[in-house]
Structure 1
Amino acid sequence: IKMELNEIFKNENEKPLDNIPSDGGYTAIFRTIACVGDSLSSGEFEAAKEGGSSTYHDMYEYSWGQFMARMCGSKVYNMSRGGMTAKEYCESFADANGYWNNAYAAQCYIIALGVNDLFGQKQELGSIADIDDEDPKNNKKTFAGYYAQIIARLKKIQPRAKFFLMAMPDEEDANTELKLKHRDLLYSFAEKFDNTYVLDLFEYAPKYNAAFKEKFFMRGHMNPAGYLLTAKMTAAYIDYIIRHNMNDFKEIGFIGTDLHS
């Protein structure tokens, strides 16, 4: 009996996280991946301080990006830091660290921003109407404007790269309404920009409830197992998107060149 490929590539009943390949699956076709994000993308651990407060420590080897790198055998850039916002990324952080340079050009960009912007700094969400198609630096100063600026400027560096925009998971808390608006904004970006997809963790990831956090969190941030789980979910979701859109990904090896099939 020959290998049956339809179950792998044409299973219409499959959901994005039904299969968690241990090696990242087809995500491994990306040889370079860049993660733009905040503490979650930086492997940040929260330690107890005398008096009950916390100290925060970015440990990039524990980030989901570096777990993915080891899983897939790909090179992963952590273009992230705890507390990061799209605004700070555009206005200072990327320039200060050289992240707009071609040295950090990647075949795949995963953007995971919004928590600090919307819930920490209470920034206005905005919409795709805030985008200046001629010059992204002139986008309106909303979360949407800054986020779209990141996409547009990275596209200029690597025009054929694939973009995956990460929605926030469902934590069964009072933030659900704004998280859904954030997710809807990401879907609107995916419609506006080519080669752009949404990782809808709100819909498909486990609920980040008390039982989940007991296993995968340490104080207010994830523990090592939590970051590994996030890497598994992220790689599995991208693998799912690739398998269900094979024609979109056939020229991955030509990204960064002028070659076409």
Structure 2
Amino acid sequence: MDIKRFIAVPDEKPLDHIVEDGGFTKVFRSIACIGDSLSSGEFESNCSNGGTGYHDFFEYSWGQYIAREAGINVLNFSRGGMTAKEYDESFAAMNGFWSEDKLCQAYIMALGVNDLFGKNQEVGTVEDINIDNRFANKPTFAGYYAKIIQSMKTMQPKAMFFLMTMPRTEDEEKNKKKGEHAELLYRMADFFDHTYVIDLYQYAPVYDAEFRRNFYLGGHMNPAGYILTAKMVMSYIDYIVRHNPEDFAQVGFIGKPYYNAKVKW
């Protein structure tokens, strides 16, 4: 047995090792995906009159591919067009996502596309976060995004958060804003405990014309694209667990009144 397959490897990059069975993502028994259309398995259709339809097929979402491949429970806290502001102000409450029976051990957050490019919202900084009163956060993307994390932490303090950056394309103007988004998420990961970055901006392939030909259906992904995204997310979490084993030793106690004082927690 080659134990090196299951521990941190020097100079390894996050997506060097693609897992096929979920890898150490399976340390979690429950994960929620907070996101927009790209987290919802959204497909585009075209009508005979030229109109375009948008359809959330959650069974095709990368979250549900993770659920089936890793054998864990994954909840979709997402919808096409979602922003951090809408999620925080109405969507989560309307759908019962703050309910105790929907608490999870981990949350993957994939928001920012509609906020920054659809609503042209200010990115903001971690200075927009009021650590003592989340309701006083500034009305920037950073403020609304952080408030979601803060709200979940009041209910599930030890939950793990994975913050997903946006992959690059050939559009350098958009890439610049995506880079600001990625920088913010790294600062968020330093600001909050039990929080990590899934950095597709730096480590995923560039989503260029050849990528879109294989993995896109219009402006959203096709089934193969959502499968590929699931593989990248699982492999990245596997990488994070292998490189921070002490951080994940007690995930089985998340939501439970137990802990092991001899291990980091």
For the superposition of Structure 1 and Structure 2, which TM-score range results when normalised by the shorter chain? over 0.9
Question: In 1, are the aligned partners of 2:34 and 2:108 still within 8 Å (CA)?
Answer: yes
With the length of structure 2 as denominator, give the TM-score of the two structures.
Answer: 0.96
With over 3 angstroms needed to count, the CA separation of the structure-2 counterparts of 1:7 and 1:64, relative to structure 1, is closer
- Could you tell me which residue of structure 2 aligns to residue 29 of structure 1? 27
Distance 1:94 1:122 in 2: 22
Gap regions ≥5 residues in structure 1: none
- Could you tell me which residue of structure 2 aligns to residue 65 of structure 1? 63
List per-residue Cα deviations over 1:143-182 (Å, max 9, x = no partner).
0000000011111111111100000001121301100000
**Secondary structure, aligned partner of 2:206:** coil
Measured after TM superposition, the shift of residue 126 of structure 1 is 0.8
Question: In 1, are the aligned partners of 2:7 and 2:242 still within 8 Å (CA)?
Answer: yes
- Could you tell me which residue of structure 2 aligns to residue 86 of structure 1? 84
- Poorly superposed stretches of 4+, deviation over 6 Å: none
Measured after TM superposition, the shift of residue 103 of structure 1 is 1.2
List per-residue Cα deviations over 1:192-230 (Å, max 9, x = no partner).
000000000011111100000000000110000000100
Distance 1:57 1:6 in 2: 42
User: Which one of the candidate residues 102, 106, 109 is aligned to 1:108?
Assistant: 106
**Percent identical residues:** 56
Measured after TM superposition, the shift of residue 52 of structure 1 is 2.9
Q: How do 1:163-182 residues align onto structure 2 when only pairs under 5 Å count?
A: 163-173=161-171, 174-182=173-181
- Could you tell me which residue of structure 1 aligns to residue 243 of structure 2? 244
Distance 1:228 1:88 in 2: 27
Distance 1:19 1:6 in 2: 12
**Secondary structure, aligned partner of 2:18:** coil
How many residues get paired?
259
Q: Does 1:257 align with 2:256?
A: yes
Q: Does 1:137 align with 2:129?
A: no
- Could you tell me which residue of structure 1 aligns to residue 17 of structure 2? 19
Q: How do 1:152-163 residues align onto structure 2 when only pairs under 5 Å count?
A: 152-163=150-161
RMSD over aligned Cα atoms = 0.9
Measured after TM superposition, the shift of residue 21 of structure 1 is 1.2
Distance 1:76 1:7 in 2: 25
Distance 2:73 2:4 in 1: 30
- Amino acid aligned to 2:54: Y
- Amino acid aligned to 1:220: G
